[in-house]
Amino acid sequence: MPETTLQAGLRFTWNYTIPERSTVPNLYHDTEFCREMPPVLATGYLVGMMELACIAGLMPHLDWPREQSVGTMVNFNHIAASTPGMQLRIEGELLEVDGRRLVFQLIAFDDLEKVSEGRHERFIIYPEKFNAKLAQKVEKMVKAGSRE
């Protein structure tokens, strides 16, 4: 990783309007019992928004798109329900930089209250190298499938 402005203490805020597609019944529309659940923000979608907030916070400090990041660990609570149309504000802080490993503390609020907080770990990747390894994995799977 070349010289970077990426340092512990970096803070960022990211805003996102909760879409209808992010509710439990819509996100898991192919599972009958989920279609019967309340139309609130699904935890899985919330986790994705927390990851996107980190990516947005990192982009000015990376040689994007040559350098990118992937999530490797999430540990968030989901303490309040939010509905489509509400604005989600995610505030983040980079707690630790250990080579390519990054650890974030995040907190999310909807229009009325705190809805989530926790930690997230990401690794900086080089897409060209990452995609080459991924292609090798796919090739192995294709070969394994042809032996059956």
Q: Which residues are catalytic?
A: 43, 51, 78
Between CA 65 and CA 47 the distance in angstroms is: 23
- The answer to whether 82 and 110 have CB atoms below 8 angstroms apart is yes
Between strands 87-98 and 68-78, the pairing is unpaired
- Site of tokens 């699904």: 42
Give one DSSP letter per residue of 6-58, joined into a string.
Answer: --TT-EEEEEEEPPGGGBHHHHTTTSHHHHTS-SSB-HHHHHHHHHHHHHHHH
Q: Phi, psi at residue 139, to the nearest 5°? A: -60, -40
